A and B are shown apart, each in its own frame.
Chain A
Amino acid sequence: MLTYILRRFLYSIPVLVATSFLIFTFVSITGDPLGRLRANANITAEQIHAIEHSKNLDKPVIVRYGYWVRDAVTKQFGTTLFGNRKIWPDLKRVMGHTLQFILSAIIISLILGIAIGVYSALRQYSLFDYTATTVSFIGFATPVFWLALMLQVLMVQIFLKWHVRIFYTSGLSSSVNAGHGFHFLLDRVQHLALPVIALCALSTATYSRFMRASMLEVLNSDYVRTARAKGLIERRVVMRHAFRNALIPLVTVVALDFGGLFAGAIVTETIFTLDGMGYYFINSLFSSDPYPVMAWLMVVATMVILFNLIADILYGVFDPRIRYE
Chain B
Amino acid sequence: MPEPLLSIRDLVVEFTTEDGVVQAVDGISYDLFPGETLGIVGESGSGKSVSTMSILGLIPQPPGRVVRGEALFNGKDLLKVSKKELRRIRGNELAMVFQDPMTSLNPVLKVGFQIGEAIKTHHPETKDDAVKKRAVDLLKLVGVPNPERRVDQYPHEFSGGMRQRAMIAMAVANEPQVLIADEPTTALDVTIQAQILEVLKKAQEETHAATILITHDLGLIAELADRVVVMYAGKVVELSDVHTIFNSPRHPYTVGLMDSLPRLTADEDWLRPIPGQPPSLISRPPGCPFHPRCFLSQGRVRCREEEPPLRPIGDSQHLTACHFAEELEGRTGHLVEPVGAGA
Touch between chains A and B, by CB atoms below 8 Å: yes
Residue interface mask A38-74, B partner, CB < 8 A = 1: 0000000000000000000000000000000000000
When chains A and B are docked, how far (Å) is the Cα of A96 from the Cα of B331?
Answer: 87
Contact for B108 among A225, A231, A234, A319, CB less than 8 A: A319
When chains A and B are docked, how far (Å) is the Cα of A230 from the Cα of B104?
Answer: 12
When chains A and B are docked, how far (Å) is the Cα of A227 from the Cα of B90?
Answer: 10
Which B residues touch A321, using CB under 8 A? 107-108, 154, 156
Closest chain B residue, CB of each to CB of A229:
B96
For B92, B118, B122, which residue has the most chain A Cβ atoms within 10 angstroms? Answer: B118
When chains A and B are docked, how far (Å) is the Cα of A132 from the Cα of B118?
Answer: 36
Chain B residues 98-131 with CB under 8 Å of chain A are 98, 100, 103-109, 117-118, 121-122
Size category of the A interface is 20 to 34
Contact of A222 with B108 in the complex, beta carbons under 8 Å: no
Size category of the B interface is 20 to 34
Contact of A231 with B106 in the complex, beta carbons under 8 Å: no
State the Cβ distance, A129 to closest chain B Cβ, in Å. Answer: 12
Chain B residues 245-292 with CB under 8 Å of chain A are none
Is B170 interfacial (CB 8 A cutoff)?
A: yes
Contact of B122 with A229 in the complex, beta carbons under 8 Å: no
Binds A, one of B30-38, B54-62, B133-141, B229-237: B54-62
Which B residues touch A221, using CB under 8 A? 103
Is A178 interfacial (CB 8 A cutoff)?
A: no
Contact for B104 among A220, A226, A232, A233, CB less than 8 A: A226
Contact of B87 with A232 in the complex, beta carbons under 8 Å: yes
Contact of A222 with B100 in the complex, beta carbons under 8 Å: yes
Binds B, one of A103-111, A154-162, A241-249: A241-249
When chains A and B are docked, how far (Å) is the Cα of A112 from the Cα of B100?
Answer: 35
Contact of A124 with B62 in the complex, beta carbons under 8 Å: yes
Is B47 interfacial (CB 8 A cutoff)?
A: no
State the Cβ distance, A75 to closest chain B Cβ, in Å. Answer: 47
Residue interface mask A184-205, B partner, CB < 8 A = 1: 0000000000000000000000
Q: List 11 A-B contacts (CB under 8 A).
A: A222-B98, A222-B103, A223-B105, A226-B167, A230-B91, A231-B90, A231-B91, A241-B106, A245-B107, A319-B108, A324-B156
Show the binding face of A for B, using Cβ within 8 Å: 124-125, 220-223, 225-234, 241, 244-245, 248, 318-321, 324
Beyond the given pairs A220-B60, A229-B91, A231-B90, 14 more chain A to chain B contacts, judged by CB atoms under 8 angstroms and listed by A's residue number, are: A223-B103, A226-B104, A226-B170, A228-B57, A229-B58, A230-B90, A230-B91, A230-B121, A231-B92, A318-B108, A319-B107, A320-B107, A321-B154, A321-B156
Closest 4 CB pairs of A and B: A231-B91, A230-B91, A231-B90, A222-B103
Show the binding face of B for A, using Cβ within 8 Å: 56-58, 60, 62, 83, 87-92, 95-96, 98, 100, 103-109, 117-118, 121-122, 154, 156-157, 167, 170
